[in-house]
Chains A and B, each alone.
Chain A
Amino acid sequence: MRFILLDKVTELVVAQRITTVKALSLAEEYLADHFATFPVLPGVLMIEALVQSAGILVHVTNDFRQSIIVLQEARNVKYKSFVKPGNILRMELTARSIDEQSSSFLAAGFVDDRPVVEGRFQLRHFNLADENEKWAQTDEKIRQEMRYRARLLGA
């Protein structure tokens, strides 16, 4: 399955802030077992959705100079309530810093006014070519895919 855990960017202020939304659908595979009688978005996937959202802001701010953006650390994560099929998870992230190789975010997720999740993330960004020059073409392909995705999401 495609693993894009956000559907739209609703607000973006370069280097500062991004708001995105993700609608939860019963069509998502992992809900079949989580749980059969009570489908809810797994907590780790809330984190993934938030990190992907932060990644879009990093890409736009750094003009896609780094192809790979990964989560380095998640701290003070709290799960306050569930996201259910039919809910729209609204994710609000504030960048505390965005540098070339790393960034730091405060993140929170809501369904309407109801807080769902919050946490602080440290992200790391790099190019595969940093390790080995022969990966430069792969970096470029990834960069193109990320540019395409950001456009698709309305960033």
Chain B
Amino acid sequence: MAMTRDQINEKVKETLMDALGVDDDEVTDDATLMGDLGAESIDFLDIVFRLEKAFGIKIPREELFPAENLLNDSAYVDHGKLTGAGLERLKSQMPHVDFTEFEKDPDLNKMPDLFRVNSIVTYIENKVNAA
């Protein structure tokens, strides 16, 4: 079932509004899930579940929000930054995200900024239109 990016955008926005209790005008393309929309760990599970229902697809949680697995493995984290291995793994799990800025200094404190509304839309677009 092919969907246009606009259609996907609309549905993703609605899903985030429901999951996070935010208003339409807050869910901009560039909005970060944590900083702008107030999402935190417990919300990611809810978001994945709702997106699965909204789009009729299966979303392995570590594909959309791989950070949590990485952060529990000491091979991928050292002194508050991702190791080379950690960065490579994150990039392979999130091909829909632009890592140019983050790569320069893969500081864990800045990881939340990678999770923006438009990267979710891109992820869904890839999933839905690949089928």
Contact = CB atoms under 8 A, between A and B. Distances in A.
A12 B80 CA distance: 36
B41 interface: yes
Given A38-B71, A44-B40, A82-B109, A75 B34 contact: no
Contact of A35 (B34, B68, B112): B68
Interface residues of A, number: 19
Given A78-B35, A80-B35, A82-B109, A37 B40 contact: no
Interface in A78-117: 78-82
B77 A78 contact: no
Interface string B100-117: 000000001100100000
By DSSP majority rule, is chain B's interface helix, strand, loop, or mixed?
A: loop
Contact of A81 (B38, B72, B109): B109
Interface in A115-153: 119
Interface of A: 33-38, 42-44, 74-82, 119
Given A36-B72, A80-B35, 15 more contacts: A35-B68, A36-B71, A36-B74, A38-B80, A38-B108, A42-B41, A43-B40, A43-B41, A44-B40, A75-B21, A77-B38, A79-B34, A79-B39, A79-B112, A81-B109
